[in-house]
Amino acid sequence: MAAVYQVGDSAGWTSVGQVDYQEWAASKNFHVGDTLVFNYNSQFHNVKQVTQQAFEACNATSPIATYTNGYDTVTLEKLGHFYFICGYPGHCQVGQQIDILVSSPTSSLSPSPSTDQTTEPSAASSLYFSYNVCWTLGVLLAFCLSGFAY
Ligand SMILES: [Cu+2]
């Protein structure tokens, strides 16, 4: 099921308010087909998808893609990292940058097939139990009889 995430939740995409976008991204599990929504005032911000190198350098001069609408949706179409920064001077440097890692869904372990073996040991043990009881009773009987005999 594809999910839609508003980047920064109610804070949106901003350079003020000290939004920790890495923490925000780390709290999510992004999968192929999910959509990011960048919600911001387009007078003050934009969204530039950049390479890892440009991301680390806060270099917005040669972006992979540029979004400027103020309500931009970006579909995560493949696995791997998606790097976004704000192209306005100084904004990336103060933390308006986000590294989205799109991972494949973890394959859930299928439960081990149940077998009929669970019933067999209990049947065997009850058989063993009744054998023990008979043997114990037999010994007691023999003991009692021998007690009477002497
Ligand atoms: Cu900005």
Q: How far, in Å, from the CA of 105 to the mean position of ligand 1?
A: 32
What per-residue confidence (pLDDT) applies to 18?
A: 84
Report the separation in Å between the CA atom of 43 and the middle of ligand 1, taken as the mean of its atom positions: 9
Across all residues in the chain, what is the average pLDDT? 85
pLDDT in tens, 24-76: 999 999 999 999 999 999 999 999 999 999 999 999 999 999 999 999 999 99
> Given pLDDT bands bounded at 50, 70 and 90, which one contains residue 131?
low
DSSP state at residue 57: H
Which of 1-5, 79-83, 146-150 bottoms out in mean pLDDT, i.e. has the lowest?
146-150
From CA 9, how far away is CA 22, in angstroms rounded? 13
As a whole number of angstroms, the distance between CA 149 and CA 144 comes to 8
Residue 105 has a pLDDT of 77
- Read off the pLDDT of residues 11-25 as tens digits, 9 standing for 90 and up: 999 999 889 999 999
pLDDT of residue 1: 75
Q: State in Å: Cα 15 to ligand 1 middle.
A: 5
Beta strands per DSSP E along the chain: 4-6, 35-39, 47-50, 65-67, 71-75, 80-85, 97-102
Ligand 1 centroid to residue 70 C-alpha, Å: 11
56 CA → ligand 1 middle, Å: 16
Taking CA atoms, 137 is separated from 39, 130, 140, 145, 149, in Å, by 83, 10, 5, 12, 18
The string of pLDDT tens digits covering residues 82-116 is 999 999 999 999 999 999 999 987 654 445 455 44
pLDDT band at 118 (very low <50, low <70, confident <90, very high): very low
Whole-number Å distance, alpha carbon 98 to ligand 1 midpoint, is: 12
Q: How far apart are CA 12 and CA 41, in angstroms?
A: 9
Strand intervals (E) in 24-147: 35-39, 47-50, 65-67, 71-75, 80-85, 97-102
Question: Any residues with CB less than 8 A from the CB of 104 and at least 6 apart, and which?
Answer: 31, 32, 79
Does position 135 have pLDDT exceeding 70, yes or no? no
